[in-house]
A = this chain, B = another copy of it.
Amino acid sequence: MIKVAVLGYGTVGSGVVEVLEKNSEALSKKALDELSVKYILDLRDFPGDPHEDKIVHDYKQIVEDEEIKIICETMGGVGAAYEFTKQALMAGKSVCTSNKELVALHGPELIALAKENKCNYLFEASVGGGIPIIRPINCALTAEKIEVIAGILNGTTNYILSKMEKEGAEFETVLKEAQELGYAERNPEADVEGHDACRKIAILSSLMLGKHVDYSKIYTEGITKITPVDFAYAKAMGMSIKLLAVSKECDDKAFAMVSPRMISAEHPLHMVNDVFNAVFVTGNMLGDSMYYGKGAGKLPTASAVVGDVVDCARHLGKTVTCIWDSEEAPLMDVADAQNKFFFRVKTGNEERVKDVFGNPEAVKLPGVEDEVAYVTGSLTEKDFAQKYEKIADICVGNRIRVGF
């Protein structure tokens, strides 16, 4: 029997205990041994909880217990979680985590520490919730040189955008509804400003390159400026608007960006709606592939953590290969990134737009007389910004990138 400890009895932590119990029979088969929760670390007591007897408040009890082989870190944050993870790995105990912030910040250090101590630091749940994406990249797409990763990595923003699209509603209205339904936090900044997606694309980019991508250097733009009018134009062009985290390898540099993008109906990411997430991966041999599923939620996330537990159980005393060096990956200057752009101007300025942008494709909305939209060809961010500045006085609303 393999004894497991769970750090943090919140949503994901209690989900982990639930998955381990509900699927215990199948898990024993797959892990080649029985898995059993011995401790649950939490500051709180849980009187009446069926697992009340497993609650402990002192981490020492867990990390010093020889019997504990695997620890699920589902407490979040980068303070205690970081310390506890280091102590566990140094004690030769494998750690499975859903903590994207910690992975994005200290991934390579903790992976190296696991290797030194012949155990594992696994983090399938840190990106895309229940969607297997870390393991496919690390263990399945190993024959590929991955060229592009583009992900819908945040369920809250995808829910909001899907709803805005379907109902023609304003961002603020839908956000409020999402908050009431519990799909968005009371302080929604981490989601709607793209910070959550940024951590996740930093992790995926690091795995793509085998080097560390610093998330604080990734250009990140949220969805707060998107309006129903933008969706009307997108629809007229057979497109939708998604918050996309995009990463590409360009001449040994990484390009990474989080921003809303218009996506054509022919693209597989187009149909990813509501709280679903998806990661689109292009490899140099395989071509395009996509991984789709629930990106968040108690049980999907817990399922990914427990999948990691099974992998740790199968590899006790051995480290699963994960190539993510601490060496920092050089990031391409965002100013040099090539994109197509959608923007709107007041009618009657066709000549000025042509003077500045050459001959961008014009898009008109039926019944809308006072403005016209354009889609540029591929331009560098810098080039576009300079041109856009020149017509700032006639622009309406926000510019949005098109495709990737």
Residues of A within 8 A of B (CB): 19, 22-23, 26-27, 29-32, 124, 130-132, 135-136, 139-145, 210, 268, 270-271, 283-294, 299-300, 302-307, 309-311, 314, 321, 323
Kindly identify which residue among B30, B131, B135, B268 contacts A135, using a CB–CB cutoff of 8 Å.
B135
Smallest Cβ-Cβ distance to A142: which chain B residue: B310
Q: How far is the CA of A314 from the CA of B142 in the complex (A)?
A: 11
Residues of B within 8 A of A305 (CB): 143
Tell me whether A139 and B139 are in contact (CB under 8 A): yes
Residues of B within 8 A of A143 (CB): 19, 23, 27, 302-307, 309-310
- Which 8 pairs, one residue from A and one from B, show the smallest C-beta to C-beta distance? A289-B293, A143-B306, A132-B140, A130-B286, A285-B303, A142-B310, A290-B292, A135-B140
Closest CB in chain B relative to A306 CB, distance in Å: 3
Closest CB in chain B relative to A287 CB, distance in Å: 5
Q: How far is the CA of A31 from the CA of B26 in the complex (A)?
A: 30
Q: How far is the CA of A323 from the CA of B271 in the complex (A)?
A: 34
Q: 16 more A-B contacts (CB under 8 A) besides A22-B285, A132-B289, A139-B311?
A: A23-B145, A27-B143, A30-B142, A132-B141, A136-B140, A141-B303, A142-B306, A142-B311, A143-B309, A268-B292, A270-B271, A285-B300, A285-B303, A287-B294, A291-B291, A292-B292
Kindly identify which residue among B32, B284, B288 contacts A22, using a CB–CB cutoff of 8 Å.
B284
Closest CB in chain B relative to A329 CB, distance in Å: 14
Smallest Cβ-Cβ distance to A280: which chain B residue: B292
Q: How far is the CA of A140 from the CA of B134 in the complex (A)?
A: 9
Tell me whether A139 and B130 are in contact (CB under 8 A): no
Tell me whether A145 and B285 are in contact (CB under 8 A): no
Kindly identify which residue among B124, B286, B304 contacts A293, using a CB–CB cutoff of 8 Å.
B286
Smallest Cβ-Cβ distance to A146: which chain B residue: B26
Kindly identify which residue among B19, B145, B286, B291 contacts A26, using a CB–CB cutoff of 8 Å.
B145
Q: How far is the CA of A310 from the CA of B140 in the complex (A)?
A: 9
25 A-B pairs with C-beta separation under 8 A: A19-B285, A23-B145, A26-B145, A124-B140, A130-B285, A130-B286, A131-B289, A132-B141, A135-B139, A135-B140, A136-B136, A139-B139, A141-B307, A143-B305, A268-B292, A270-B271, A285-B300, A286-B299, A286-B303, A287-B294, A289-B291, A289-B293, A290-B290, A290-B291, A292-B292
Q: How far is the CA of A7 from the CA of B122 in the complex (A)?
A: 36
Residues of B within 8 A of A289 (CB): 130-132, 291-294
Q: How far is the CA of A144 from the CA of B20 in the complex (A)?
A: 10
Smallest Cβ-Cβ distance to A321: which chain B residue: B314
Residues of B within 8 A of A292 (CB): 268, 289-292
Tell me whether A303 and B323 are in contact (CB under 8 A): no
Closest CB in chain B relative to A290 CB, distance in Å: 4
Q: Answer whether A142 and B31 are a contact pair too, CB < 8 Å, given A135-B135, A271-B270, A321-B314.
A: yes
Residues of B within 8 A of A300 (CB): 285-287
Smallest Cβ-Cβ distance to A26: which chain B residue: B145
Name, among A142, A287, A304, A307, the residue most crowded by chain B CB atoms within 10 Å (CB to CB).
A142
Residues of B within 8 A of A144 (CB): 23, 303, 307
